[in-house]
Amino acid sequence: MKSNEFINILAALPEQIEKAQDICSRVKVDLPEKINAVYIAGMGGSGVAGLLAKSILSENLKIPVELIRDYAAPFAMTKNSLLVAVSYSGNTEETLSVVAQAEKRRVPMVFISSGGKLAELAEAKKIDIFEIPKGYQPRAALGFLLIPLLYIFEKLKMAPGLKEDLAEAVIELKKLCGEIGPGVSPHQNEAHKLAAKICKTFPLIYSSAALYPAAYRFKCQLNENAKLLAHAGEMTESNHNEIEGLCALKRGAHNHSLLYLRSERDSERTKKQMEITKSLVGAQLGGVREIFPRGKSLLCQMLSLVYFLDMVSAYVAEVNGTDPAEIGTILKLKKELSR
């Protein structure tokens, strides 16, 4: 895939969300009436959909929702739970391992995938599956991976107002595309300007716990698209440990950049901690760059941050002359694993 094509796919997230909504409206899922917990298994670009969904819906989750990003299924996952396995390729071995354990324990399951072994298993065992379009890279298929997950929670009556919030998000993302999309010149494009500032640094990205999935997604997108190491931290936990390491950095003797994802939704105490941290460590790190979301709902705020920062990661790749579509090392690792 050419790098321009990849950037265009990232930029088309609002349209992808609309397509995903259309897919969801056509898929029939039969969910158990009574469950005591939801487990979401998925790795990398697929797993992040679970992280986002759990946080976006946090205020309405009536039962525990746990993420599984490993081979082992938690002991507490039983036939009274629901497992949602998310794997774009359908072939990720950690996710397949959890699914195999769930099968043995007779855990009800739903899959979100474009094919692979998950789709084969769904066919063979009559397991409900949201079959999403093929031909994307997982990290550029967030709309297809996330929307079915939110839709499952809506069916479980844990996502009130989902349609309205998605409508708000699509409008805001389309507006953002007109401001920071690949068609907007770098001089007028805030995502491009940020990319130029951080492209040679080790970004340290902080947000409130609620917005942490957006910070983490940005870290992962910088890793994969721009081949840049980055760190994502959660306020206020980081103020109980990392702040010492940040404070010890000598001004001008390192190449870190400090970014805060902020929202008026953050609690007053979190805002206060962010202000204090800024005054304590900002100077050593050449100041703090603050990024604000769009819209009112948590879903819209989260997705607008993800969208803006996805574009930043692609522009960092562009500025650094790296191909954002290429993830040769991950592919090499997967090939070795499959031997």
The contact pattern for ligand PA5, residues 212-231, with x = CB under 6 A and - = no contact, is: ------------x-------
Which lies closer to ligand PA5 via its Cβ, residue 42 or residue 295?
42
Peptide bond connecting 92 to the previous residue in cis, omega within 30 degrees of 0? no
Beta-carbon contacts of residue 196 (< 8 Å; ≥ 6 apart): 186, 315, 319
Residue 295 in contact with ligand PA5, rule: CB under 6 A: no
Active site residue 224: yes
Active site residue 172: no
What is the distance between the terminal CA atoms of the chain, rounded to a whole angstrom?
25
Active site residue 240: yes
Which lies closer to ligand PA5 via its Cβ, residue 247 or residue 330?
330
Phi, psi of 133 (to 5 degrees): -60, 145
Residue 306 in contact with ligand PA5, rule: CB under 6 A: no
Catalytic residue (one of 172, 224, 242, 318): 224
Residue 257 in contact with ligand PA5, rule: CB under 6 A: no
- Span of 43-51, 127-135, 180-188, 295-303 interacting with ligand PA5 by CB under 6 A: 43-51
> What's the Rg (C-alpha) of the chain?
20
The burial of 75, by beta-carbon neighbours within 10 Å (0-12 exposed, 13-18 middle, 19 or more buried), is given as exposed
Q: How many residues bind ligand PA5 (CB under 6 A)?
A: 15
Tokens read off for 318: 């562009």
Residue 81 in contact with ligand PA5, rule: CB under 6 A: no
Residue 172 in contact with ligand PA5, rule: CB under 6 A: no
Phi, psi of 113 (to 5 degrees): -165, 160
Question: Residue 250: how many CA atoms within 13 Å on its side-chain side?
Answer: 1
Which residues are at the interface with ligand PA5 (CB under 6 A)? 43-46, 87-89, 92, 95, 137-139, 224, 327, 330
Q: Which residues are catalytic?
A: 224, 240, 334
